[in-house]
Structure 1
Amino acid sequence: MSKLDSPLGLLTAFLLRVPLIFKTILLHGIRLSPVTGKQDLRTELTVAIIRSLIAFTSSPVGKQQKDSLRDPGIKGPMWVSKVTLPRPEDDVQDAVVKAIEDLKVGDETYNLPGVVPVEAEWTGYRSGVGKNAPQPDISEEAKYEELRKESKEDMVILYLHGGAYFLLDPCTHRPVVTQLSKRTGAAVLSVRYRLAPQNPFPAALIDALVAYLSLVSPPPGSLHDPVPPKKIIIAGDSAGGNLSLVLLQTILTLRRVCPIVRFHGRDVPIELPAGVATSSPWCDVTRSMPSVTHNSIYDYLDPPSQNPEIAYRPLAVPEDDVWPVKPPRVDLYANANALLHPLVSPLAGREELWKGAPPIFIAMGEEGLSDEGLILARKMHRVGVPVTVEQFEGMPHCFGMVMMGSPAGRRFYDGTAQFCRDAVAGKLTADTPTSGNVTYVGYKLQHTHEIPLEKAVPLTDDEVDEMLRKSAQWRVEGEKELEQEWLGKAKL
């Protein structure tokens, strides 16, 4: 990624991809492209170029992470106020541990990461300025006051960014959250949660819960007033969609096992948000479902290997002080024996766990992760959760982020914003019946039709569970072998 920071690097990257660009344009023009009728030229080029950039990424994990965190600066029609949410008592970690232990199904293991201050950004839409307008040189408090003047709704969106749990940052998602603020009139709190592999599960979940409780019960010195839970929408994309769903599952679980948490000297009741809105949520960290392969033609995410000889090996990039870790793990985010915990892979949880959940919105493309999102939505609907699902034909992973100005991108943001407004206004509640269908949005938005969730993925629950179990077991066995190799080297 760093090679793209200089004009020479950009030119080199473009020249290397000229043959790919011409090939894509030619095949598309003569209608011999494998995605003809599913993707327009802009979409096909976007997918091809992103896929090629990812394919050439062989840098150490630490370098990939550092490059992805580079701040592009703040300019244009957005207000950004940077804040640090102070460290609360250890009770927040204790509450998360109670939820993890209550939902355990086996011998899952994890590290206790501790509780830390959490950095975040308040973001809002700034009207009346050009796309290159600089942020005024005023205090963070003054910036917050300005964004609240323009974000006039009493809704707050708690945003959790994507990036496979080890990349990206609130600074990379400012355009995304600004669009949400513009369309909803809400202020957005975008969280800089701790990243793996340095901070594996459940560090990010603890940080997300700290941010949620900070909205409900502001710590001393906060810029914001208390936000009623029914005015909060939790939102996120990809891994941030995963984190949004597992934060909700944590809240649901704590309401049973630990309904009050000590937070900055106050006893704070655990209450549900108005709703959860996700984009291309990563619901299965093992990526075991058939769509990871079947839909790879439309996506820039390569399917993972299903060969057990390869699946359990750590990410094959040059070693650095970040990865691989010691003792070794096969997965960046969690221990192999925890990959099917409901707070790691929500797809693996029992459907009963979602009873009583508030409205949930899931948008996705025809992408690698679509099966897991559709199956999870099926589980939710079966227990009465009002879940709204939209799938866009031929669109890749997180298309709303990578193709923001496209017709599908605009439709995605409009749909998400409408869901947020309806949930906060009480037009959608936990008791609202929904159709149980997927709204399938056709190529170029030319048509839509409804597909029952029960028929959207032709897999039974038993087949899904077996795929998850098999994929996780490969990783458990591989991780044990890696640990033995590591211990053997350590004795030498």
Structure 2
Amino acid sequence: MDSSPTALAKLLLPKTPLLLKTALWHSLSLSPQSSKWDLKTSLTVTMIREMTGPNASPQPIGKTQRFTLRDPGVKGKMWVSKVAMATPSEDDARQLLFKAVREMGTGEEKWEEPEQKGVEAEWNGYRSQAKDGEGEPVGMGEKEKYEALMQETTSQTTVLYFHGGAMYLLDPSGYRGLGARIARQTGGRVFNVRYRLSPQHAFPAALLDAFTAYLSLLSPPPGAFHEAVPAGKIVFGGDSAGGLCCTALLQLLLQIHRSAPDGHTPTVRFHGKLVDIPLPAGLALTSPWLDITRSLPSIENETTFDYLPPPSQTDKKDFPADEVWPANPPRADLYCEASALLHPLVSPLAAQDWSGSPPLFFSIGQEMLRDEGAVLAQRAVSQGVSVTWREFEAMPHVFAVLLDGLPESEVHYKEHTEFIKTVVEPAKPRLQSSAVMIRAKTLKREDKDVAAGLTQITDEEAKDMMVKGKERIERKFARGRDPAAERPML
């Protein structure tokens, strides 16, 4: 997957007739999307559908993964400070995670115990004086960059961010612009984690990295650039699979709190210190992926405005074998064993208890992952959790990340960052739950019932659908096929 101009031309030239047809149909208002989208959106989504849909040939996992890990460099109005923190000498945090995995499961799940690693991440901030396209200052070290980044912050707001990519693709280096934008609009900074990717590192390796990153913010390891960050100033943020990381990490923290003696904040020994484990100020989720089994109705029904291929379109495909997939021994899913698909820390939609959670923010398009977000949001509201739901008519998966400059994307970032600023306020009132539909193009706002108006799917129905989804994956795997090929690039 070469990204050179020649390779790009080879990719685009065969698609020219399709792009011309798309532009013509859009201008004549003949497509189902023409009344809701601008031309740029139509062309962008059409190209992604061609690259990921039923007409595309599956590529080896390792090849695709390497392509998405390429570093685009640092240019423009952003500070980037790369950090690699020391590995804790203790095993306490790791064992605390394993204890929670066992407590929250059925006992039938198979999973490997990953080794403890130090955190790799990038601090992202806004660089106000830089020109568009301007490179980093020559000769400046990573600590100096961090100090320069901090000089431009106006608050302690810290977003612990997890990138998307279906748990096997992408990297913080591709999210620098997003991190800088969040930093600019919140006055704070973003800590973008380079968590371990599957299939090389299956569940719960990424979750262990996420937990270690949170502890590292609360209690900096030796040599870290930053000072300790109060939990009340930390918001978990993530798009797509990054939303899975956020919600799984929250469920881990909730389980640790549930297991602690009444009235006591749980603690863990970390880099020689006994560290409290409080909850963060909130979660800001963008098109979160919450169901690894891909089983709720919108996965197949909400395809008009989305680009992700539904499982039915990819049912007869297999990833070509390479050095990383199939795994050795083979397993049914890139991220986990089939037996673990319904574990609450694998598929957070399976978690039934969200009581005690900090405020949750959802930004969702008219997309395939809509239903799982809606079910979880209503479940959380019913348990007393503050939920802010913002749904965007006719918008595809992670539209704001994909379609920068679109009016709907601007609304998303305003809502997203206002939520973050609100929940980290020192004297914040309780954030009241709300749900709003933002109409395409007009941006007209329509209130919805956040407690009962997001979906008619009950918790029990969602559970049954996920069980059937797990069985579908197991049957396909038993036939010698690759169920992971149904998984789109989330």
- Equivalent residue runs for 1:236-255 within 5 Å: 236-255=238-257
**Aligned counterpart, 2:95:** 94
Work out the CA distance in 2 between the residues paired with 1:427 and 1:382: 25
Equivalent in the alignment of 2:43:
45
Q: Deviations over 1:463-482 (max 9, x none)?
A: 21211111112223444565
Structure 1 counterpart of 2:271, one-letter code: H
Which letter does structure 1 place at the counterpart of 2:70?
Answer: R
1:299-448 matches, cutoff 5 A: 299-305=306-312, 316-350=318-352, 353-426=353-426, 431-435=430-434, 438-448=435-445
- Contact persistence 1:144–1:223 (CA under 8 A): yes
| Matched residue SS, 2:472 | helix
Q: Which of 245, 268, 281 is the aligned partner of 1:261?
A: 268
CA distance in 1, matches of 2:454, 2:21: 34
Shift of 1:175: 1.0
**Kept after mapping to 1: 8 A contact 2:72/2:174:** yes
Paired position in structure 2 for 1:488: none
Give, as a single letter, the amino acid of the residue that structure 1 aligns with 2:190. Answer: V
Cα deviation code 1:88-147 (max 9, x no counterpart): 122111111111112113511211011112210011000122111110121101000000
1:476 aligns with 2:467: no
- Greater shift in the superposed pair: 66-75 or 46-55: 46-55
Residue in 2 that maps onto 1:235: 237
State how far apart, in whole Å, the 2-side matches of 1:179 and 1:282 are: 23
> Deviations for 1:439-471, whole angstroms, at most 9, x for unmatched residues?
110011431112224232232222212111111
Selected match of 2:217 from 215, 218, 221: 215
Q: Distance in 2 between matches of 1:141 and 1:340?
A: 42
Partner Cα separation in structure 2 for residue 474 and residue 271 of structure 1: 39
Q: Which amino acid aligns with 1:166?
A: Y
Q: CA–CA distance in 1 between the matches of 2:455 and 2:259?
A: 34
Q: Which runs of 5+ in 2 are unaligned?
A: 261-265, 482-490
Q: Identify which of 138, 141, 144 aligns with 1:139.
A: 141
> For residue 487 of structure 2, what is the aligned residue in structure 1?
none
* 1:120 and 2:121 matched: yes
RMSD: 1.7
Q: 157-166 vs 34-43, which deviates more?
A: 34-43
Checking the alignment, whether the CA contact within 8 Å between 1:166 and 1:332 is kept in structure 2 is: yes
Unpaired segments ≥5 residues, structure 1: 484-492
Read off the aligned partner of 2:268 and give its amino acid letter.
V
Segments of 4+ in structure 1 off by > 3 A?
A: 426-429, 476-483
SS of aligned partner of 2:343: coil
The reply to whether residue 292 of structure 1 matches residue 289 of structure 2 is: no
Which residue of the other structure, out of 456, 459, 469, is the alignment partner of 1:458?
Answer: 456
Offset, 1:320: 0.6
Q: Match of 1:275?
A: 282
Look up the match of 1:486: none
Change (3 A) 1:119 1:26: same
| C-alpha distance in structure 2 between counterparts of 1:50 and 1:13, whole Å | 12
Deviation at 1:265, TM superposition (A): 0.9
- In structure 1, the residue matched to 2:66 is 66
Q: Give, in angstroms, the shift of residue 155 of structure 1.
A: 1.1
Question: 1:185 aligned to 2:192?
Answer: no
**Counterpart in the other structure of 1:110:** 111
Closer/same/farther in 2, CA of residues 329 and 11 from structure 1, 3 Å limit? same
TM-score normalised by structure 2 residue count: 0.93
- How much does 1:334 deviate? 0.9
C-alpha change, 1:426 and 1:44, in structure 2 (3 Å) is: farther
- Asked if the contact 1:384–1:433 (Cα under 8 Å) also holds between the matched residues in 2, the reply is no
* Alpha-carbon contact 2:375-2:458 (below 8 Å) kept: no
| Structure 2 counterpart of 1:148, one-letter code | M
Residue type of the alignment partner of 2:226: H
Cα distance in 1 for partners of 2:207, 2:79 equals: 26
The alpha carbon displacement at 1:7 in A equals 1.4
Contact 1:234 1:277 in 2 (8 A): yes
Aligned to 2:484: none
Range with greater deviation from structure 2 (198-207 or 249-258): 249-258
In structure 1, what residue type is equivalent to 2:15?
R
Task: Decide whether the 8 Å contact of 2:27 with 2:34 is kept in 1.
Answer: no
Deviates more, 1:122-131 or 1:50-59: 50-59
Paired residue type of 2:440: Y
Partner of 1:487: none
The 3 A distance-change label for structure 1 pair 391 and 428 is farther
Moved more, 184-193 or 5-14: 5-14
Identity %: 44
Q: TM-score with structure 1 length normalisation?
A: 0.92
In 1, distance between residues paired with 2:443 and 2:152? 35
**Post-superposition CA distance 1:150-203 (Å, at most 9, x none):** 122111111100000000000011111111011001111100000000001100
Q: Which residue number corresponds to residue 25 of structure 2?
A: 27
Deviation readout 1:265-288 (Å, 9 max, x if unpaired): 111111011111010000111111
